[in-house]
Amino acid sequence: MPRRDPLRKAAAGAIIAILAVLVLAADQFAKYLAIENLPPERVVPVLGDFLQLYLIRNPGAAFSLGEGVTWIFTIALAAVAVAIVWIAVTRLRSRAWAIVLGLLLGGVLGNLTDRLFREPGFAVGHVVDYISTPWMMPAIYNIADMFIVTMMIGVAIIVLVGLRFDGTREPRRGSDHAEGSDDSADTTVAGTGAPARGAAEPGDPAER
């Protein structure tokens, strides 16, 4: 397959910005619909126990951990968002990284928006959660959470395959050794090392 050229920094930044805005918009619109149409803290079955809607406002993290230190989660989300933007501006040239980081940034911004602008106040706002899948996990979550979790898995996969921010790949271990072995074999056949099989050596009776 032909190798794609690395993205320009402007193109990588545009991909991240567009995907982040789309995810942010979808997350905030879904939260608006949930607030307007769902009764607070009451189960609304959609597909039996497989999928339910349950509107809550979460001051903490997953499983309502850290309810008394909401501002810490606000700082953490802001730090992640700043880090993604910095990578996009200074280092990013990979399409895969741009897609994953763009979707991740959208999820982070979705929950950060709640932390900053929802009740009870700036930087301590409660995140709106409304999706429940009791067969899979006891936590109640939202669209932003879904993108954060799945894109963190995506980051792990990209790191494992060795793809760098600039679009190049990490060299595989042992590849240099294998190349060195091939080079030594070539020099042997060329006569710069041990003679190739079947070649007559000086003084061999075949030369007489």
Residue type, 80: V
Is 145 a catalytic site residue? yes
Catalytic residue among 5, 114, 145, 186: 145
Euclidean distance between CA atoms 115 and 129, whole angstroms: 12
Contacting residues for 147 by C-beta, under 8 A, at least 6 apart: 23, 27, 103, 104, 106, 107, 110
**DSSP states of 124-172:** -PPEEEEEE-TTT-S-EE-HHHHHHHHHHHHHHHHHHHTB-TTS-BPPP
Among candidate residues 191, 171, 12, 182, the one with its CA nearest the CA of residue 88: 12
| Residue 114: active-site member | no
d(CA 40, CA 113): 20
Of the listed 5, 49, 114, 129, which one is catalytic?
Answer: 129
Q: Considering Cα of 38, then 41, then 44, then 46, what sign does the dihedral take?
A: positive
Catalytic machinery residues: 129, 145
